[in-house]
Structure 1
Amino acid sequence: MTVSVGPTPVHQPPNGSGTVTPAQVLRPHAEEAFAAELAALAAQDDRPRPTRWRLSPWAVATYLLGGSLPDGTVITPKYIGPRRIVEVAVTTLATDRALLLLGVPGTAKTWVSEHLAAAVSGDSTLLVQGTAGTPEEAVRYGWNYARLLAHGPSRDALVPSPVMRAMADGMTARVEELTRIPADVQDTLITILSEKTLPIPELGQEVQAVHGFNLIATANDRDRGVNELSSALRRRFNTVVLPLPQTPEAEVDIVTRRVRQLGRSLDLPAVPDGVDEIRRVVTVFRELRDGITTDGRTKLKSPSGTLSTAEAISVVTGGLALAAHFGDGVLRAGDVAAGILGAVVRDPAADRVVWREYLETVVRERDGWADFYRACREVSG
């Protein structure tokens, strides 16, 4: 149903309640999508919890890594990787140091950040998205200019940032792509993280952080030199590096799990198990990323793109949509070939040479890959 309000139509939620349920949202927040798991963990979590934490550090780690609870509840893994990395990240949030998740693109930094905030504070939405245009107000506070002009500076006219709200409520704030933020804006975090206070000089006041407050930042280590962190700011963080999956099997597992989740959220028709094609996509990405074939016999040129696990997930998800809507429902080489080409060939001149050489010297000669070779040749032109 559409209700006209002036020239812009307003779409009412299909449940008629005037609110949108998590099931109707394209991408629910972590605390909504996994509410049942978080509730089950909270009910059976008898370990000490830091002030204002929803779960104990042990339960937070279990939520991210997965496991089974005494009552039989299965907690699905949100992150597949070394357990110690998660334990160090969780422990950092229980101290007075902020957490910096560092890694190449596609290593689940944002994903881990969101789930940590959801498990610790029950709210992953206190988020500052870093870009080249992120202003200081996004980190500190802004003003409601109508009230400011009418009544002058006051707390009613002040618009708190997500970081300020987290400080006041003892919650976990998130800053994504920290190194994309201009250096002078980055440095507004120094006082917040060292003194645990945010001055408001216009009012002669300050907001002091209460127990439970901390901050998770993410940064792409490919962005070094863009807006590199000052040494003063870097000292305020405990840095945890998220690695790429160590083995092909681990990467296949990650891609398979995420593709299933995305397929359900996007209402893609169910298709038979496509693990064979997923394994081929992962193999191609890993070989080109590492610059050597899996058997170690052939050295390869690497393309300019990152060929991350996240991009592999995107390629397979797109292939599933093609198979379901325009194919016979079975994921085949032709469904993923165009996605792989788009991921590999970012620089039309240099990357196309790398890709064609890989096809002719590796894929063409590989047993059982004839269909994949034909499909890739067809879309490569």
Structure 2
Amino acid sequence: MSPSPVLRHHAEQQFAEELAELARADERPRPPNWRLSPWAVRIYLCGGKLASGFEVSAKYIGNVRLIEVAIATLATDRALLLYGVPGTAKSWVSEHLAAAISGDSTLLIQGTAGTDESALRYGWNYARLLAEGPSDRALVVSPMMHAMRDGKIARVEELTRIPGDVQDALITILSEKTLPIHELSSEVQARKGFNVIATSNNRDKGVNELSSALTRRFNTVVLPVPETLEQEVEIVAKRVAELGRALELPAEKPAIEEIRRVVTIFRELRDGMTVDGATKLKSPSGTLSTAEAISVINGGLAMAGYYGDGVMRGGDLAAGLTGAIVRDPVQDRLVWLEYLKTVAKERESWQELYRACMDVV
């Protein structure tokens, strides 16, 4: 079969086989209108082996209990808020939860400073509105309204980027499970299975903080950075392999030691201390998340594949690594130079990477 021309499939398409196998094996009680039981949703997110021998891949590597709390929340009348630093897989988890529960992860509202109430409620086809007046035919249905009508999960990305007065449009939806359409003197009542997953990162704290009334409608699950170096290396290696296949990069799979080096640098600068605890370090202004580590490795693979011999080396990583760390051209550059000279230079197996980074910093 020829490769798919689609760069990235939706979760329910990419993992359709796993979802089908789980549905066949799933004999546990399911909440109304759920495609899978909470037990099967957890297996889908965290991975596992079914009685038939079928292996379900892990979509989230981390604290399983957090995923269980998130799934249990969606089976109640409370909405779910996934909170944490940028790059902790909030959007990823949100998408896969919606795919497993509703079979549809596309009912998405992207929060920005320009998001208005029509994105959360409904809008109008103004040409038809002027010609016919308010009618069902002139109504532009939002993803939220679709989710309510069909009993599915609606996703709101970066909730705290949305202006406060627009956020409050969610209060009636989450408390009354109803969306009034005043112009038509009607309403949409949510079907069983409807719920909302919102995401927010702590770097946006204070931008448009949630009102106490809205906060009470959510159960908050904080997704942390990976606990250990090995766990983060596993996450990066898995995602790099998946993205490499999707992007069809003409490079060899990176050696795990190269991934370990990048992850170690990110963790040490993030924590302000070397992994052995021997040396205190200054931290740069960026988040240095797991997602950024994945991006650096993929960039290195592209460099190796298109401008090298297909084997990723330190020189292929240096520019991307420096770009991820040095966001402030003055302060972050000093932090990075100090790390290179006091930590990287002293590690024997890091010499190639050290020299390549010093050439571009």
| Shorter-chain TM-score range | over 0.9
CA distance in 2, matches of 1:66, 1:265: 21
Report the counterpart of residue 353 of structure 1 in structure 2: 334
Report the counterpart of residue 281 of structure 1 in structure 2: 262
Structure 1 gap ranges (5+):
1-14, 16-21
Per-residue deviation, 1:269: 2.2
Tell me which amino acid in the other structure corresponds to 1:91: A
Per-residue deviation, 1:317: 0.5
Per-residue deviation, 1:96: 0.4
- Indicate conservation of the 8 Å contact 2:304/2:312, yes or no: yes
Task: Please tell me whether residue 194 in structure 1 is matched to residue 175 in structure 2.
Answer: yes
| TM-score computed with the length of structure 2 as normaliser | 0.98
User: Which residue of 157, 161, 168 maps to 1:176?
Assistant: 157
Per-residue deviation, 1:367: 2.5
CA distance in 2, matches of 1:233, 1:79: 28
Per-residue deviation, 1:70: 1.1
CA distance in 2, matches of 1:272, 1:35: 25
Tell me which amino acid in the other structure corresponds to 2:56: I
CA distance in 1, matches of 2:219, 2:289: 24
Report the counterpart of residue 10 of structure 1 in structure 2: none
Tell me which amino acid in the other structure corresponds to 2:250: P
Task: Please tell me whether residue 141 in structure 1 is matched to residue 122 in structure 2.
Answer: yes
Per-residue deviation, 1:320: 0.8
| Shift >3 Å, 4+ stretches | none
Report the counterpart of residue 313 of structure 2 in structure 1: 332
User: Which residue of 33, 37, 49 maps to 2:14?
Assistant: 33
Residues 275-308 of structure 1: CA distance to partner in whole angstroms, max 9, x if unpaired? 1110000000000000011111111110000000
Report the counterpart of residue 93 of structure 1 in structure 2: 74
Identity of aligned residues (%): 71
Task: Please tell me whether residue 368 in structure 1 is matched to residue 354 in structure 2.
Answer: no
Which is further off, 134-143 or 359-368? 359-368
Per-residue deviation, 1:141: 0.1
Tell me which amino acid in the other structure corresponds to 1:286: R
Report the counterpart of residue 32 of structure 2 in structure 1: 51
**Superposition map of 1:56-67 within 5 A:** 56-67=37-48
User: Which residue of 103, 113, 116 maps to 2:84?
Assistant: 103
Task: Please tell me whether residue 266 in structure 1 is matched to residue 247 in structure 2.
Answer: yes
Give me the CA root mean square deviation. Answer: 1.2
Structure with more of its chain in helix, by fraction: 2
CA distance in 2, matches of 1:146, 1:38: 42
- Indicate conservation of the 8 Å contact 2:33/2:193, yes or no: yes
Residues 311-352 of structure 1: CA distance to partner in whole angstroms, max 9, x if unpaired? 000000010111122112211111111111000000101111
User: Which residue of 279, 283, 293 maps to 1:312?
Assistant: 293
| TM-score computed with the length of structure 1 as normaliser | 0.93
Per-residue deviation, 1:212: 0.5
User: Which residue of 92, 112, 115 maps to 2:93?
Assistant: 112
Which secondary structure state, in structure 1, belongs to the residue aligned with residue 95 of structure 2? Answer: helix
